[in-house]
């Protein structure tokens, strides 16, 4: 396009001026410029254009085409502008399409340039960080010089050629000297021209880069390296493997858990740690290898500096495979082929794939070799492993709020013997059986593993027996508790029943004490509806019924049954009736109030009148039973008034009217 244009990116200035020369940046029109395409055919007629930009020059702005430049994310990173078409016409739609393609191309170029600059800065920062980390991670040179001057005892002095080797009695300085002895006995320093002082500094740096965690620390790395050394020397596996392979295996064992944090790969994935984001699989193993390379690449601890390019590349490749093979996930993936290979009896170890399988199985066998140690050593190591697992389980509870697996749950520590038996059966025993078929000189590892399995099995049985006894004791205790609860409920039911009976008796006693005042009463027998007159002239007494069963409710509670009682207000009784009444009263007193006090059934007139104050009480025996609570009521009279009062009360109607 034959047009005059200028490109402005991120406020950069060009020879033709800045964006304010043609399009004032700070006058409020910048939003229009950077967010949409602007096509102005006559600039001087547009209020957003500043005519001052043409002052002092012969140039006259006629038309403007302005378009934003965006990156791949759609973010505006610059502005491109075309001014005045050469033919003097305004910019058309075709010009806009061509200019848009140009803007896209500019955006890609600018974005790539920015990314490159960012990458360059990131690399520079990484180098600075590596230098700082190397300075602190690499052991001081004076420590290496000091170690270089120390006399190194023999392998027999440390018992390094024994599969039952134990490091408990060694301090850290002796573990360093024992490590030097192992590399020297394998002729690795001589065969690969490794400077002794650099080797001492490298080894000190490796030790320094192990964290002070419970189990996966420098001591664990040292013991794994000793087992590999024993397999190579005492097991004569160095007759099958090359010197380069031996070097890679020994360095790999010593570095296989560098910078271990005391947590496994699953924990890194669950917490979405930076390591998990950096490495997709075998998270910790990749990190261990990278730490190993960092130390080997640092000046002063670069023990491979004298290797040829070919040998250097080869040993690094073998070293990476050795460290990654300690991931048990890869062990399970590849062990089937190895087991089939050694059981077939046609092991061809000059094949690269077969040798790779062999080295991987040797790394696993060395890594879990604590399971083959004497029982006292194995118990202590197992306790350390369990403690580290429990610490991870505690972190999972606190940070992730998850219930950890049994082997990492502190509350299930009594399951350790069972878990150890399972660990031996699933991982250790198969690999030791397989490598024993490769060389009979490796069989001590298998024998030690079998012996410890029996020990753990006995421990598991003892623990299970104690657990069964404890469960039985708890069950018996629960049964006794249930029986106590049942007895308590039964007692509560009995007490409640007794309380209800007592309350009912108290209620009946209150009924017995009901007092009816100012009335002389006489019980009138009821007749059947077809039986005689009110005076009871018929002599058939079978139809008579003394409705006295609800008598106790009168005057207080049972109002509904009052109609069953006919109360007759009487006047002064005749003399003969008084005599009969007195005689009956004496008889009643002689009986102590027992038995019913009812009128004779011969006639209504023969029934005696009662005293002025009358108490309705219970007849019969004083023994209170449920069957007699509502029957057997009788009348007991007691005179409380004077003769005048009796005479006054007897002056009433004698006709037997009801009241």
Q: Which residues are annotated as a binding site?
A: 216-220, 256-257, 367, 420
Among 190, 158, 161, 162, residue whose Cα is nearest residue 171: 158
Cβ atoms of 513 and 553 within 8 Å: the answer is: no
Number of other residues whose CB lies within 10 A of the CB of residue 54: 16
Which parts are annotated binding residues for Zn(2+)?
Answer: 220, 256-257, 367
Helix, strand, or coil here: 567? coil
Which parts are annotated binding residues for AMP?
Answer: 216-220, 257, 367, 420
C-alpha count within 13 angstroms, C-beta hemisphere, residue 194: 26
Catalytic: which of 32, 216, 286, 401?
A: 216
Q: Determine the Cα angle at 102 with ends 101 and 106, to 5°.
A: 120
Among 75, 83, 76, residue whose Cα is nearest residue 17: 83
Distance, C-alpha 563 to centroid of its chain: 76
Residue matched to tokens 């296989």:
256
Distance, C-alpha 319 to centroid of its chain: 39
Sign of CA dihedral 276, 279, 284, 288: negative
**Is 216 one of the catalytic residues?**
yes
CA–CA dist 113, 164 (Å, integer): 61
C-alpha count within 13 angstroms, C-beta hemisphere, residue 486: 6
CA–CA dist 371, 373 (Å, integer): 6
Q: Determine the Cα angle at 605 with ends 604 and 608, to 5°.
A: 95
Written as six digits, the tokens of 189 are 């320093």
C-alpha count within 13 angstroms, C-beta hemisphere, residue 421: 11
CA–CA dist 555, 236 (Å, integer): 117
Q: Could you tell me the end-to-end alpha-carbon distance of the chain, in angstroms, rounded to an integer?
A: 133
Cβ atoms of 362 and 231 within 8 Å: the answer is: yes
Active site members: 216
């Amino acid at each position: 396009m034959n047009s005059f244009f200028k490109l402005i990116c991120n406020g950069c200035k060009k020879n033709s001026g800045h964006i304010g020369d043609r399009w004032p940046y700070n006058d409020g029109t910048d939003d229009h410029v950077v967010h949409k395409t602007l096509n102005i055919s006559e600039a001087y007629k547009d209020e957003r254009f500043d005519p001052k930009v043409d002052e002092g020059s012969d140039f006259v702005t006629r038309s403007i085409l302005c378009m934003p430049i965006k990156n791949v994310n759609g973010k505006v990173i610059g502005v491109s502008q075309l001014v005045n078409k050469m033919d003097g016409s305004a910019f058309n739609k075709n010009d806009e399409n061509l200019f848009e393609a140009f803007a896209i191309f500019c955006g890609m170029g600018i974005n790539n340039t920015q990314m490159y600059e960012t990458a360059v800065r990131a690399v520079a920062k990484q180098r600075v960080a590596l230098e700082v980390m190397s300075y602190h991670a690499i052991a001081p040179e004076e420590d290496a010089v000091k170690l270089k001057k120390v006399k190194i005892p023999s392998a027999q002095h440390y018992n390094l050629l024994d599969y039952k080797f134990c490091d408990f009695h060694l301090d850290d300085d002796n573990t360093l000297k024992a490590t030097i002895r192992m590399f020297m006995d394998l002729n690795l320093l001589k065969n690969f021209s490794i400077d002794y002082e650099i080797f001492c500094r490298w080894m000190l740096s490796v030790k320094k880069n192990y964290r002070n965690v419970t189990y996966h620390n420098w001591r664990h790395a040292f013991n794994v390296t000793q087992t590999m050394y024993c397999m190579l020397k005492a097991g004569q596996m160095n007759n099958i493997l090359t010197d380069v392979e031996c070097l890679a295996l020994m360095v790999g064992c010593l570095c296989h858990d560098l910078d271990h944090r005391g947590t496994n790969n699953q924990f890194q994935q669950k917490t979405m740690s930076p390591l998990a984001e950096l490495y997709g699989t075998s998270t910790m193993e990749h990190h261990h290898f990278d730490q190993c390379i960092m130390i080997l690449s640092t000046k002063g601890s670069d023990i491979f500096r004298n290797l040829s390019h070919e040998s250097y590349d080869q040993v690094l490749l073998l070293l990476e495979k050795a460290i990654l093979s300690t991931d048990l996930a890869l062990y399970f993936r590849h062990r089937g082929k190895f087991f089939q290979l050694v059981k077939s009896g046609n092991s061809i170890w000059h094949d690269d794939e077969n040798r790779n399988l062999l080295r991987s199985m040797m790394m696993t066998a060395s890594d879990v070799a604590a399971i083959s140690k004497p029982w006292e050593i194995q118990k202590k190591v197992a306790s350390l492993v369990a403690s580290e697992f429990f610490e991870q389980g505690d972190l999972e509870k606190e940070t992730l709020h998850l219930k950890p697996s049994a082997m990492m749950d502190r509350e299930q520590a009594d399951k350790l013997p069972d878990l150890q038996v399972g660990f031996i059966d699933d991982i250790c025993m198969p690999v030791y059986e397989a490598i024993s078929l490769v060389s009979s000189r490796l069989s001590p590892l298998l024998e030690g593993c079998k012996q410890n399995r029996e020990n753990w099995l006995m421990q598991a049985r003892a623990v299970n027996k104690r657990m069964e006894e404890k469960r039985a004791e708890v069950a018996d205790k629960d049964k006794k508790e249930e029986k106590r609860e049942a007895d308590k409920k039964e007692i509560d039911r009995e007490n409640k029943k007794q309380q209800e009976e007592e309350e009912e008796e108290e209620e009946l006693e209150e009924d017995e004490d009901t007092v009816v005042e100012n009335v002389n009463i006489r019980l009138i027998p009821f007749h059947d509806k077809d039986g005689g007159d009110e005076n009871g002239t018929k002599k058939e007494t079978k139809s008579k019924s003394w409705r006295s069963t609800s008598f106790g409710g009168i005057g207080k509670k049972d109002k509904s049954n009052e109609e069953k009682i006919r109360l007759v207000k009487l006047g002064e009784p005749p003399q003969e009736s008084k005599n009969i009444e007195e005689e009956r009263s004496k008889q009643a007193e002689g009986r102590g109030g027992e038995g019913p006090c009812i009128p004779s059934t011969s006639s209504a007139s023969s029934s005696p009148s009662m005293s002025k104050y009358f108490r309705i009480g219970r007849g019969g025996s004083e023994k209170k039973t449920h069957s007699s609570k509502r029957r057997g009521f009788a009348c007991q009279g007691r005179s409380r008034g004077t003769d005048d009062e009796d005479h006054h009360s007897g002056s009433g109607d004698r006709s037997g009217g009801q009241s």
